[in-house]
Structure 1
Amino acid sequence: MTRPADFWNAVYDNDTAPWVIGEPQPAIVELEREGWISGRVLDPGCGAGEHTILLTELGYNVRGIDMSPSAVAYARANAVTQGVPTAAFEVADALTLSDRPDFAGDPPGSAPAFDTIVDSALFHVFGTEDEARAAYVRSLHAVCKPGGTVHVLALSDAEPGFGPRISDTLIRDSFGDGWTIEDLRPARYRGRVTEAVTQEAAQLDVAESGQVDVAAWLARIRRL
């Protein structure tokens, strides 16, 4: 479910975000190791900034964006702590990226900027909100170069878990015209149990560290 920036600010300000685990998602790390990330990279819904930090350290030209000012402040501080102060973050709405000439050309949409987009746990936030989800997919299309790749790591409804879990069918149905889905498979998403998800996590196998791996989908989608 989409939420206003104030909601996300509070999650970061109170340190209750179950997705802030102090490291990149293993599934995203593996994508990079397998060579699926290239060129200029966008990290929408960057949160704590772990993927932008990782990819910057590895030499990629990457931009992390989030609609929450608190998330961006957290990510910038995180980058400094990890010794990667050049990691680039900014506040931006992932639903309106086509309005950014530096992302989508001037006029908007004339020159998509990014070769690879890494969406870790943003797409599923829109759940079954058809209009918001469609706007997000249009936004991605506007800023992803033809032939470029969008990777989506989203929580799955195939098993019990926490957060907004979705089906693989929802991903397939959302990326229709202008896209081709090259791969869509089960994966795992690593979270941590905080007071925000204590009840939902009661039936999960939680490690002593408080971390838990839950069912997810990993999709590779090519922009036509």
Structure 2
Amino acid sequence: MADNPTGSPPKSLTHDPESYENLYRGKPAFPGAPAPEAIPWDVRQAQPRLMELEALGALKGHVLDVGCGLGDNAIYLASHGHTVTGLDSSPTGIEQARARAADAGVQVHFDVADATRLTGYEAEFDTVIDSALYHCLDHAGRNAYAAALHRATKPGARLFIYCFSDDSVNGVIAPMEAVQASEIRDTLPSGGWRIDFLGRTTFLGNASGFSGSFGKLPDSVLAQMPSELAQRMQRMAERMAVILPLIDDGRIHLPCHVVHATRMD
């Protein structure tokens, strides 16, 4: 049980760029954690909800995949004729995304960038997809992120966000950050975005990714976390231990908010 009931977790336990760089290099995300058996969000395909958006014709013009990770969403969109830029904070993640795009035979512009700044990108994108980045930012980071996206997009641009919620899917909860709907309703409009739809959906995850760094944190690491966060991770690990042997395809569905928003001029 954690003995840090109210404080914030140490910087080494937050989702700073170094933790993601470590994961992409096959190292523990947090000091004292085991090495990952897999990247939790690496499902080797585009997210099903993104595929639906593309099939419905919702993605227009130059598309930004922000927090693109290993690039599977961006690669899928490029393979369907879209002009896509994929940005991520991890140089190793971007390097691997470029390799995947080359293997797929598609053209995607991948680059390293801070999503809360998006330096060098001004009024460039018509559509933004955020597939599990928003919940990785703290409150100040989310405000800066919304403003940065506004600067980087054209008038009338559309924004599609998928971020962890407090719901559960057959007892499976989000492993760490769960964003409150009220926070989204406050943050996006203040950054220049009109929310057109806010609802519930799921995010496809790699089950093996929750048996390593995110599923077996030792007590010494959990003790450095706020009690609520430590308890959430413990509950997730306990649930994963039960269901992992029963999963045939190695994938799980995690609870998410889905947000459709439009850039206000």
Aligned counterpart in structure 1 of residue 25 of structure 2, from 7, 13, 20: 13
Query: What's the Cα RMSD here?
Result: 1.7
How far did residue 82 of structure 1 move? 2.2
Task: Using CA pairs under 8 Å that are at least 6 residues apart, name the structure with larger relative contact order, 1 or 2.
Answer: 2
Partner of 1:188: 202
Aligned to 1:115: 126
**C-alpha distance in 1, partners of 2:177/2:42?**
16
Partner residue, 1:210: 250
The number of residues matched between the two structures is 211
Give, in angstroms, the shift of residue 2 of structure 1.
5.4
Residue 83 (structure 1) shift: 2.6
Q: State the percentage of identical aligned residues.
A: 32
Q: Write the deviation string for residues 76-112 of structure 1: whole angstroms up to 9, x where unpaired.
A: 111122232x222011111111x31xx21xxxxxxx1
C-alpha distance in 1 between matches for 2:78 and 2:174? 31
1:138 to 143, 147, 151: 147
Q: Answer yes or no: is 1:93 the counterpart of 2:114.
A: yes
1 CA distance for matches of 2:206 and 2:258? Answer: 19
Q: Which runs of 5+ in 2 are unaligned?
A: 1-12, 27-35, 217-235
CA distance in 1, matches of 2:259, 2:174: 19
The equivalent position to 2:96 in structure 1, one of 74, 82, 94, is 74
Matches within 5 A, 1:143-154: 143-154=152-163
* CA gap 1:176/1:222 in 2 versus in 1, 3 angstroms: same
Indicate if the aligned counterparts of 1:158 and 1:167 stay in contact, CA closer than 8 A.
Answer: no
Name the CA distance, whole Å, in 1 between partners of 2:109 and 2:237: 33
Residues 39-91 of structure 1: CA distance to partner in whole angstroms, max 9, x if unpaired?
A: 0110110001011101111111110010100110110111122232x222011
User: Contact 1:161–1:201 (CA<8 Å) still a contact in 2?
Assistant: no
Deviates more, 1:138-147 or 1:12-21: 12-21
Q: Distance in 2 between matches of 1:201 and 1:183?
A: 32
Greater Rg, structure 1 or structure 2?
A: 2
The TM-score with structure 1 as length reference comes to 0.88
Distance (whole Å) between structure 1 residues aligned to residue 22 and residue 44 of structure 2? 18
* Unaligned stretches of 5+ residues in structure 1: 105-111
What code does the residue aligned with 1:187 have?
Answer: T
Conserved? CA contact 2:83–2:108, under 8 Å: no
> TM-score with structure 2 length normalisation?
0.75
The Cα of 1:182 is off from its aligned counterpart by 0.5
Structure 2 counterpart SS, 1:176: helix
Q: 1:64 aligns with which of 79, 83, 86?
A: 86
Q: Secondary structure at the match of 1:96?
A: coil
- Judge which range, 187-196 or 66-75, deviates more: 187-196
CA gap of 1:2–1:175, structure 2 versus 1, over 3 A, is farther
